[in-house]
Amino acid sequence: MTAFNPHGTSLNHGILSVLVQNRPGVLARVASLFARRGYNIFSLAVAPAEDETQSRITIVVDLESAPLEQMVKQLFKLVDVVKISELDPRRSIERELLLATVRADTGQRSEIVELVKIFEAKILAVGSDAVTVSLEGHPDKLDDFEELLDSYAIVEMQRTGRVALPKLDRAARLRAVNPNQKGKVS
């Protein structure tokens, strides 16, 4: 058994990118479906999609709680769900943002600054005995950063939960870097 990781960065997570109609209550429908069927969610991020009548929900699910296939099929029974993509972690780009306020008296501050440098994180605010830092990146990287920060007493921390999109294939990547060669990337 792998140790419980609240951010779902263990190998047992699945990522669903769910396009829904932007209607009142749609998030509640998704959440109550997961609760009712006993599916565990590690994180959930939601915001309007490219088409404003729709939202995209990125859900990181615990594959030990139920098979991904059942989750997808049950989700699809929600009338407001338009499209579901299963994102294979190996073939998708995942990002997350972490904000943390860490206790830092003068002695420790330089160590934390060092850590921030190594991780290419940012210092957002400095107080007399604490600093607030942010890090954006792959959730695994955030995990490492969080673990190291932990030895300096984290006062408050918030992670956003991951968002993800499929990686572009090579051809699409080339098209994307050449703005003159417009093509529909799907």
* Residues of this chain that bind other proteins (CB under 8 A): 20-21, 24-25, 28-29, 32-33, 36, 67, 69-70, 73-74, 76-83
DSSP per-residue string spanning 28-79: HHHHHHHHHTT--EEEEEEEE-SSTTEEEEEEEEETTTS-HHHHHHHHHTST
Q: How far is the CB of 78 from other proteins (least distance, A)?
A: 8
Q: How far is the CB of 17 from other proteins (least distance, A)?
A: 14
Q: From residue 149, how far is each of 107, 111, 142 by CA, in Å?
A: 15, 10, 10
Continuous segment of H or E residues that includes residue 17:
strand 13-21
Q: How far is the CB of 68 from other proteins (least distance, A)?
A: 12
| 27 vs 168 by CB, closer to other proteins | 27
| 67 vs 183 by CB, closer to other proteins | 67
Q: How far is the CB of 81 from other proteins (least distance, A)?
A: 5
Rg value, the chain, Cα: 19
| 51 vs 111 by CB, closer to other proteins | 51
| Rounded Cα distance, 127 and 108, in Å | 13
| 40 vs 54 by CB, closer to other proteins | 54
